Structure 1
Amino acid sequence: MNQDELSQLLIKYNNQTATPDEKRVVEDWYDRVNDTQPTIEHEDYFTIKNKIFEKVKHQLASNAEPVRKNKLKLFRNVFLRAAILLLALVGVSYYFITRTDSKIFDDHLVSTKTHIKPGGNNATLLLADGSQVILNEAVDGQIANQPGVKITKTKSGELIYSFIDDANTQEVKYNTVTTPRGGQYHLILVDGTNVWLNANSSIKFPTVFATDNRKVEVTGEVYLEVSKNKLKPFFVSTNQSEIKVLGTHFNINAYDEEEYQRTTLLEGSIEITKGNVKQVLLPKQQANISKYSNVIKLKEIEDLDAIIAWKNGYFQFEKADLKSVMRQISRWYDTDVSYNGQIPNKEYSGKVPRNVEVKKLIEMLSYTGIYCKIEKNQITVNPK
């Protein structure tokens, strides 16, 4: 039974339009799921369990009946209906990612010599004089001085710029932090702005900002929590647009290999400029900008957590096409991806931790209908 068939059966069961045979299939499926623990520790799993429990208590209280011989069956049916309601909320794909009884995954699809680990805190700091600091190799504590600031690496791996004085800040000096494929990093600029870089991304910034503005340049994917300063607006430049900020939280996805640059606002307001076109964003809005035009298309985003899932340690796909999914995986695991056969025109949804090794990731992806073979540093996708 595939995902679409299961989804339809769950809907019919919950609407009480399923045939006796269909009810039996759903109840057998639920009994298997109820006996199965997820293959990964996942906070959402326990959240779901708690929600199901609360839903069951509510339904039992509102549907109280005299005790019968089939009390156990009644409880299971009520529990099942609550579970189905909640599965509909979180997406049936969650079951396919966390179940352990599937025989889809084949260990032979992964070479025994393959040990590709997930990415982690890994970045390079380029100083104003051209010297470089490999941040994941640098010792904790002060690692450099720049005009007017000191640069410190914390025990947790953050990079912090701290203001010293105005004595040596007449000339603007720029630093750049760059993550490779398989890297991410968190830094705090001298004005208190927090910056998170995803894999294969960068930010170029002055060590001390000018008197009337704050300007940075970014590539790849970056999440910023900009400190508020009405006297010094914050500007972010990408290869396609400029974003004006007063103080806000937003995510920019501006990878060159992506068809659209996507800027999503979580809090505050920003103004995006592309050519002669300007667009103000409100919270929960996303601006999509094509490489080939100055049109800025707005989209409402309901699940903001999905946008910054990468910052919180997850891949989260929301109706993503196969190539989009694999590009994210390629960047994080520093692997190359190829395709064997025709690429299916399907959409994929699900949430997967980014801290698992490739073998476990491929196993989880197989439950969503993505089948891969990996050897050395190459992932081959085999659409079925």
Structure 2
Amino acid sequence: MEQKYAPGELIKKYNEGTCSEEEKAIVESWHLNDLAESTFVPSEESIRSLNTKMRQTIIAHSQSAPIVRKLWPRIAAAASILLFLSVGAYLYFNKAETKQQTAQNQIQDITPGTNKATITLANGKQIVLTDAKTGLLANQGSAAINKTADGQVIYNASKASPTGRDLEGATYNTMSTPRGGQHGLILSDGTKVWLDAASSITFPVAFTGKDRSVKITGQVYFEVVHNAAQPFRVTVKGQTIEDLGTHFNISAYDDEPAVITTLIEGSVQVATGEQVALLQPGEEALVGNGTHKIAVHQANVQQAIAWKDGLFRFNQTELKTIMRQISRWYDLDVIYEGNVVNDAFDGQIPRDVKLSQLLKILASNQIHFQVENRGNSKTLVIKP
């Protein structure tokens, strides 16, 4: 159906209160429908002319919508901030669509990561969890490995004497996730573990010694079952994080500048070299890669564990940091061509959106994205 009026005229009538019910519905649908799919983009003058009622409608609707805003250094006007914090942010980003339509059209739809992981048993045999059926997966030492109907992996240890022990007297398994994968795990003591993309955890199938020690790479979240008589310790890159009854997250990717331990609940002790730090809830310990110096800061807990909650969450996060997260979650390489400005962004996006949707939200006049096939992998090329 063709519109009866030009957009500017309809908005003017809406503000004057002279719209018919049909015209009023048309105007409001421009803002409340899925704007990423919309074919109509109002002018800046039309946006500024929105009355208070319409702004309030946009803000109320935005509570359930993904948002990301770029932190422009010179933007201070309250109206602009309101637009960034609302679903109306799509209107702003769509302005760049004309200049980068060609590049956007070349972005292939790459699906986000899913639950997938591999377990490597003590004898080197591997179990691909996405292919494994529900029920008993294997027996390892004194533990039975089971996969539940919802895909969870649980190690159930018995009191039987372990078999197939290594030199330290324990049978070790490793769970690892690829780029584009994540997975949960329940250890034999009931401790719950979540692995982010490109991560791993090596652990004894049953905790029979004086402590409970595991090793990790990448990013792992723990909810430890506390046992003062058998401390739980995580080792990563020369650090030891000891549980004192807690929930905590460790980010230790090789391509990130530091290992970050974020405490959500309880207490942990971080030790590296001769330094030791005791964290309180809401604090994080940063240890630069290749160093033994611990820096303790107040943490943005929501941002640290957003991945576990199915979100990308940015708080003055630089573009290149965001791209490292995208690379791991969408299983692609990222390269930069030309002088790409490393701008900062703020907001959140669900991790279950396709790559094209995410990049459209991040796009600006200064950034263009293109996905290419290079070798055996997808490569995201970023240009000014």
Instruction: Determine if the TM-score, normalized by the shorter chain, exceeds 0.5.
Output: yes
Two-structure CA RMSD over aligned residues (Å) = 3.4
Partner residue, 1:114: 108
Alpha-carbon contact 1:39-1:99 (below 8 Å) kept: no
Does the C-alpha gap of structure 1 residues 93 and 293 become closer, same or farther in structure 2, counting only changes over 3 Å?
farther
Q: Is the 8 A contact 1:97 1:364 kept in 2?
A: no
The separation in 2 between residues aligned to 1:252 and 1:97, in whole angstroms, is 35
Match in the other structure for 1:157: 151
- Per-residue displacement from partner, 1:122-146 (whole Å, max 9, x unpaired)? 1110001110001111111111111
CA deviation vs aligned residue, 1:68-103 (integer Å, no higher than 9, x gap): xxxxx7x739958997xx999x98644378525723
- 4+ residue runs over 4 A deviation: 32-35, 77-83, 90-93, 110-113, 367-370
The one-letter amino acid paired with 1:103 is: K
1:145 aligns with 2:139: yes
| Unaligned runs of at least 5 residues, structure 2 | 1-11, 17-26, 37-50, 68-77
Structure 1 CA distance for aligned equivalents of residues 331 and 138 of structure 2: 29
Which amino acid in 1 is paired with 2:345?
Y
Specify whether residues 204 and 81 from structure 1 end up closer, same or farther in structure 2 by C-alpha distance, changes over 3 A only: closer
Moved more, 90-99 or 229-238: 90-99
Mapped pair 1:340 → 2:317: no
1:99 maps to what in 2?
90
Q: Which amino acid aligns with 2:335?
A: S
Normalised to the residue count of structure 2, the TM-score between the two structures is 0.75
The equivalent residue for 1:360 is 357
| Distance change >3 Å, CA 40–CA 184, structure 1 → 2 | farther
How much identity, in percent, do the aligned residues show? 37
Q: Matches of 1:139 and 1:77 in 2, distance apart?
A: 52
- CA offset at residue 158 of structure 1? 1.1
Which amino acid counterpart does residue 234 of structure 1 have in structure 2? F
Count of residues paired in the alignment? 323
CA drift of 1:346 comes to 2.5
Matched, 1:76 2:53: yes
Q: Which amino acid aligns with 1:122?
A: K
Partners of 2:319 and 2:269 lie apart in 1 by 32
| Bigger mean CA offset, 283-292 vs 168-177 | 168-177
Question: Relative to 1, partners in 2 of residues 1:113 and 1:147: Cα closer, same or farther, differing over 3 Å?
Answer: same
Matched with 1:216 is 214
Per-residue displacement from partner, 1:43-74 (whole Å, max 9, x unpaired)?
A: xxxxxxxxxxxxxxxxxxxxxxxxxxxxxx7x
The one of 257, 275, 278 equivalent to 2:276 is 278
Residue 128 in structure 1 maps to residue 122 in structure 2: yes
Change (3 A) 1:109 1:345: closer
In structure 2, C-alpha distance between the alignment counterparts of 1:96 and 1:321, rounded to whole Å: 22
* Cα distance in 2, alignment partners of residues 155 and 372 from structure 1: 39
SS of 1:95's equivalent?
A: coil
| Equivalent AA in structure 2 for residue 343 of structure 1 | V
Name which of 301, 316, 320 aligns with 1:319: 316
Once the two structures are overlaid, the 10-residue window that deviates more, 361-370 or 93-102, is: 93-102
Q: Is the 8 A contact 2:246 2:266 kept in 1?
A: yes
Rounded Cα–Cα distance in structure 2 between residues aligned with 1:98 and 1:342: 26
